[in-house]
Structures are given as structure tokens and as C-alpha cells.
Amino acid sequence: MQRERVADNVYYFQSDNYAQVTAGAIVGPNWAAVIDTLALPEESLQIRDFIEQELKLPIRYVINTHYHADHSWGNCFFPGATVIAHTLCRQQLIAVGQESLIEARKQNPNLRRVKLVLPHLTFDESYLILRVGKKTLSMFPLPGPCTDNIGILVEEDRVLFAGDAFMPLPYIVDGNIDDMTISLKKIGKMGLENIVPGHGDIVLRGEIDGSIKENLSYLSAIRKIVRKASRRKYPNDILSEYGVEDCGKSRVLIGGLAEELHKRNLRALYRHLYGEVPRSSPHDGDYEEDEEEFEEEEE
Ligand SMILES: [Zn+2]
């Protein structure tokens, strides 16, 4: 796990093990608040050790930016803390959390140590303010990657913990491209010093405008591809033609997962917009009933 100081009493952690997922901590004179937990139990425990052993402070709050496993399954390793999140985060964890945890434990027995802890304190519209020492944390809805995502702004430092509303590659499979676009534009207008993305490295002041623009243009690129695909008989063939680099993003992003996440984005967007799974052309060995009715593709 990487650890960095973002501003006075504001820390950032990044996983070495899974998709460069991040977490944070805001430290006051008497106690600390943690923002998100990491994917594996040992990494969440490293955050706790750092605050409890090195800084010698108790952790009073854990804020979940959203319900995804890699951000919220470490709540149980902060047993004394009150967990804060969007109301929808609590609802999602109730709806799908336990089932996904049982599935995930089959792949990774280490996750037997994980017990879901639901948020104790929730808000939905508007915002919630938490004061940690001299710092003011304002939490507000920032949907896009999923409906429950929130941002946490450390007002005095203009540091935004964006959850997955900001990533090196926007990921919309569980969310909505329109919400993501609105959230990115909102982040761009906030006058920030730093963005701590849900995955990846801290974005510095001088990089913010460029990276917002790049993410917005990625979203319009995938919209265009999906629209083009929708005019074809076998839309999935068109979707497969466009890699992440054709949309202005590098393959090495998010620990090398970028190409895979991009593929999922295209298929999910197609499903959202057209209400069906994009069809592929039948390959050799596949027998489809309408195989003989070959259709000329119009350009
Ligand atoms: Zn995430």
C-alpha cells in the first residue's frame, strides 16, 4: 500500500494489489475520519495501524464514497467507527452486498474475514458537513459510476475525494453516462487544489482541467461508437473494433485494466441506450438460423 500526505492532516492511500483503488484519512487533534477502505483486509488494517499506532488516534468515522466492494468491505476493520454514506449506498449493500461477498469468498478465502457493516448515518439529497479538528468536510451526491457515489470536499484545502466519479478512465457499467458527464463538469468548476480519484494517482491543480477534458472526450467518443454500432446488424462487431486507445486513453491505466474496463463500458452503454445486448456476427462453427440472410452493411 502506498501512503502520501495530500495536505496538512490529509492522507491518501493507494492499493498495490487491486486496481489502484484509493482511500483517505483526515486527522484532527483527538480523532480521525477515514474515507473508504481498500480491497483486501490487510490493506484496510494497514490504514488502521497507521492512524492508531503511528498517529495514536482513534478512528471515529468511516465515510464510504459508494457501495462497491473495493471501497466499503473494509468497514468491519474499524469496529468503533460510525459509518457514513449516501442512503442509496446502504440500500445497495442490503440488496446485493451479502450475495456478492459469498461469491467473492469462493475466489478469495481471505475475504472470510470480511463482514459487511452497513452505514449507520446516511443522507441523500443536499449535503452533510463533518468537522474534523480545523477541517470542514462537506459530503454531497456525485453520481455517475453508480447512483450512490458521493464526493467529500476538504474545504480548507480544496481537496476533493471524488470516489469513482473521477478515475483515470471513467467507468459507467454500474452507473449512467449522463450523470457521469454532469459530475465531471461540476468537479471542473469547483476550484480544486487536488482530486483524489477513486482509483489511480492524485490529480494536481495544473492537471485538473486537462484530465476533466480528457474524461469528457472519452465519454463522447464511446457515445459515438455505440451510436454507430446501433445502425449495424451486428453491433458488437463494431464495438470490438474500437480499443481504449482509439478513444484517447492509454491501456496501462488503472493497473493495466483499462482495455477490459473500456470493453465493458461500450457494451453497458449499448445496453443502457438500446435495451438489449449487442449482437455479434455468427462465427465459423456457430449455427444461427438467419445465417443465410446476409445483409450488406451500409456505410
Ligand atoms: Zn472503485
* Strand, helix or coil for residue 230: helix
Q: How far apart are alpha carbons 229 and 236 in whole angstroms?
A: 7
Q: What is the pLDDT of residue 134?
A: 96
Mean pLDDT, all residues of the chain: 94
Q: 215 CA to middle of ligand 1, Å?
A: 16
Q: What is the pLDDT of residues 66-78, one digit of tens each?
A: 999 999 999 999 9
Q: Are 119 and 64 in contact (CB under 8 A)?
A: yes
Q: 137 CA to middle of ligand 1, Å?
A: 21
Q: Are 181 and 146 in contact (CB under 8 A)?
A: no
Q: 181 CA to middle of ligand 1, Å?
A: 17
Q: Are 110 and 41 in contact (CB under 8 A)?
A: yes
Q: 66 CA to middle of ligand 1, Å?
A: 8
Q: 164 CA to middle of ligand 1, Å?
A: 5
Q: Are 161 and 137 in contact (CB under 8 A)?
A: no
- Grid cell at residue 251: 491501456
Q: 68 CA to middle of ligand 1, Å?
A: 6
Query: Residue 60 is inside which H or E element, if any?
Result: strand 59-63
pLDDT band at 90 (very low <50, low <70, confident <90, very high): very high
DSSP result, 127-165 = -EEEEETTEEEEEEE--SSSTT-EEEEEGGGTEEE-GGG
Q: 148 CA to middle of ligand 1, Å?
A: 12
What angle is formed at CA 283 by the lines to CA 279 and CA 287, rounded to 5 degrees? 90
Q: 236 CA to middle of ligand 1, Å?
A: 26
Q: 29 CA to middle of ligand 1, Å?
A: 30
Q: Are 154 and 131 in contact (CB under 8 A)?
A: no
Q: 13 CA to middle of ligand 1, Å?
A: 14
pLDDT band at 284 (very low <50, low <70, confident <90, very high): low
In the structure, ligand 1 is a single-atom ion and the residues with CB under 5 Å from it are 68, 164, 198
Q: What is the pLDDT of residues 136-191, one digit of tens each?
A: 999 999 999 999 999 999 999 999 999 999 999 999 999 999 999 999 999 999 99
Q: What is the pLDDT of residue 180?
A: 98
Q: 286 CA to middle of ligand 1, Å?
A: 37
pTM attached to this predicted model: 0.92
Q: How far apart are alpha carbons 161 and 35 in whole angstroms?
A: 8
Q: What is the pLDDT of residue 283?
A: 73
CB under 8 Å to 258, separation ≥6 — which residues?
168, 169, 244, 249, 250, 251, 252
Q: 72 CA to middle of ligand 1, Å?
A: 10
Q: 21 CA to middle of ligand 1, Å?
A: 6
Q: 161 CA to middle of ligand 1, Å?
A: 12
pLDDT band at 295 (very low <50, low <70, confident <90, very high): very low
Question: For residue 258, is pLDDT > 80?
Answer: yes
Q: 9 CA to middle of ligand 1, Å?
A: 24
Q: What do you get for the CA distance between the two ends of the chain, in Å?
A: 50
Q: 44 CA to middle of ligand 1, Å?
A: 15
Question: For residue 286, is pLDDT > 60?
Answer: no
